[in-house]
Structure 1
């Protein structure tokens, strides 16, 4: 599929019905081509995903047809791995897209139908969505867990956590999904470029909060709503970084009025086609008479892009998140760069399931998620920051944050969208 991304002042070209067709086609392909291997890797031959209306398992939405915006009453999906692939069965009051109907209300109780399917499948290991360390894999509520266990009877002894299967399902992207994320990253970049321009920013008038809401509104107007409220940080000479749990972070509040000489960073991500993006863009507000940022800020940008390249080089299939973190930080330190690396998978969710490559407040590794292995066909938000003293600011440090989408391939990484190549500037007035 080719996504045509227009100027961000126009409507995204895919109408909702066409988006639904795309998403349903992807789901069919994922069930046929991805799920069998993922279930084999996890050692699970029956996967049960269940949720009730207004209390859905996060995974449930990734298995439902696009026209289903939530579970309906109780929706139970049973996916059986056999020699012929994966057979998807829905134990639901209503038909569920590509899933075979496994129950009708006149056939007895819903849980009785689940028990019958399990007995027919005779699985060795039954995966359910319970997990202490991965939120996306912990969608089975206490009441549903109790009801399912009672329904399974002696088969309950074969129940195991589906955590590894859930992570694989959520982190792995089809080639078409990667192509869509490439286009959606371009759109996110264009929205941020428009936001960090004289069309939106009026020095002396616009506040950080104004800018954040302008991005939020633009994304909503385009039909690609943000999955988090955009973040805006402002740094300026005379306002040093503040200590936040041992990490030096920008200190100016959201009601700060932007003015010439400020370094502004905007963090935003959109949601569309069941996928998410997460990017950051930075711009310098020129002072009267300036035509470029001061050399100290340009040096900070160069340092940031260097750490970005070193981190991209460290991302390699087969490494754990903690190993990537250590390698990237060691490479940066070897070049005298003061860096933090806190990259993460992005796809179905903006902060996606999979290997965590540091956190801004955990630069020594992330227990649990940092031990996960990186795998090809995963998309990451390559996120990091550098601290650099700026001579023109009296040696005051700036913390320059960068974030781009990258695909992990069998041979390395490939940037998605339009990576920021230089520090943007806005005129003084």
Structure 2
């Protein structure tokens, strides 16, 4: 039988076995083509990634074979940068995919396995003689802070005189998690296409029945639909409503929708959803807006359409500021300054997305922190990364008596050397839901 490498862009979701083939192929390519440059950029000569079963370092899952759903016993991965690239070795009781087996409990009969395992790590370090040994500790990024207290103590004891060479691998971890292969970006186009299709279906009269369906019903329908399609959400989908006569309410200095989350959806409502799915080890994060037509209406009120247009303009201003080398805080400040110059009242709170929904990398604001994000906002933007372009604008709607509406948008984008590309396009028109 001839085996053909599966194409993750042809259809999603792929069967699990094909997903595993794709993910393992990506891992091999990332170790060969991505990791050496990242280690050089971070100044790390040898990287130790350590986790125990059910207490995994968040990075570990991105390095293990697709058939490993968790670490086994204590799993130690050693990645050494040399002139030939990166040597990937596993100091583990069991074989770890394409990693070279560097230890077995049978290597030292009569010696406790834990002691023998750490001794193997010490031997590798002695042979490599690295100047800087990266370990996953970070005060800024939780995803780069996966080394447990116990394993930190044990690795320090095991390395002895080499322990003073231990450094934070924060920059390396963030780079590894945020950098995307071209094929991963193509797959994310397909995954975003899938989530957009599910949202379109949710906003159809086959699902959303005005006067009967609640916002909570719709949120649970979306979650069930994703599950039935063979993908899972990485957070509970949410659906919120705005309607004439129910003004926005202030929360932590920001105006947010005040219609109760379990309210029945009525004609004339602006319906907003926030949805993210998981497949192929990647995540999406999307928000889209629909309008429930009143009897006799053929389109949304002009004021709501204008709010979406301004939201699209705010997307343009933010992507124009998204330049490699700038920090997240600098991107935020430039986008907000450009908005102010055009009289746009907006909040920007975009973030990396990839292996994780709220991924490691530069934070470009938080919805309740518009002055910049200390730490995570000081990290620079790099090419070959994917973001959830997330923001909201506030506009008065004349047809609602001048009531302010919050038009919140979130769309996957890829930043490469060619610029910004929207993953499966962005929303430029409200999705219209018939009233009956």
Change (3 A) 1:96 1:217: same
Task: Verify: 1:405 aligned to 2:412, yes or no.
Answer: yes
Residues 204-233 of structure 1: CA deviation (Å, up to 9, x unaligned): 111111111111111111111011111111
| Paired residues for 1:219-234 under 5 Å | 219-234=226-241
Matched residue SS, 1:18: helix
Equivalent residue for 2:272?
265
Residues 76-97 of structure 1: CA deviation (Å, up to 9, x unaligned): 0000111111000001110000
Task: Decide whether the 8 Å contact of 1:304 with 1:385 is kept in 2.
Answer: yes
Matched residue SS, 1:183: helix
Matched residue SS, 2:158: helix
What is the RMSD of the two structures over their aligned residues, measured on CA atoms?
Answer: 1.0
| Paired residues for 1:230-241 under 5 Å | 230-241=237-248
Task: Decide whether the 8 Å contact of 1:320 with 1:372 is kept in 2.
Answer: yes
Task: Verify: 1:426 aligned to 2:406, yes or no.
Answer: no
CA distance in 1, matches of 2:255, 2:261: 17
Residues 306-360 of structure 1: CA deviation (Å, up to 9, x unaligned): 1111112111111111111111111111111101111111111011111111111
Counterpart among 10, 13, 34 of residue 4 in structure 1: 10
Counterpart among 138, 141, 145 of residue 148 in structure 2: 141
Equivalent residue for 1:39?
39
Equivalent residue for 2:288?
281
Counterpart among 369, 372, 384 of residue 377 in structure 1: 384
Equivalent residue for 1:96?
96
Equivalent residue for 2:80?
80
Residues 97-125 of structure 1: CA deviation (Å, up to 9, x unaligned): 01000101111311111111111111101
Task: Decide whether the 8 Å contact of 2:278 with 2:284 is kept in 1.
Answer: yes
CA distance in 1, matches of 2:227, 2:119: 44
| Paired residues for 1:21-420 under 5 Å | 21-108=21-108, 109-420=116-427
Task: Decide whether the 8 Å contact of 1:316 with 1:411 is kept in 2.
Answer: no
Task: Decide whether the 8 Å contact of 2:13 with 2:231 is kept in 1.
Answer: no
Q: TM-score, normalised by structure 1?
A: 0.97
Equivalent residue for 1:9?
none
Matched residue SS, 1:169: helix
Alpha-carbon shift at residue 13 of structure 1 (Å) = 5.3
Alpha-carbon shift at residue 421 of structure 1 (Å) = 2.0
CA distance in 1, matches of 2:121, 2:238: 45
Matched residue SS, 2:164: helix
Aligned length: 423
Matched residue SS, 1:30: helix
Alpha-carbon shift at residue 4 of structure 1 (Å) = 2.2
CA distance in 2, matches of 1:180, 1:354: 20
Task: Decide whether the 8 Å contact of 2:240 with 2:271 is kept in 1.
Answer: yes
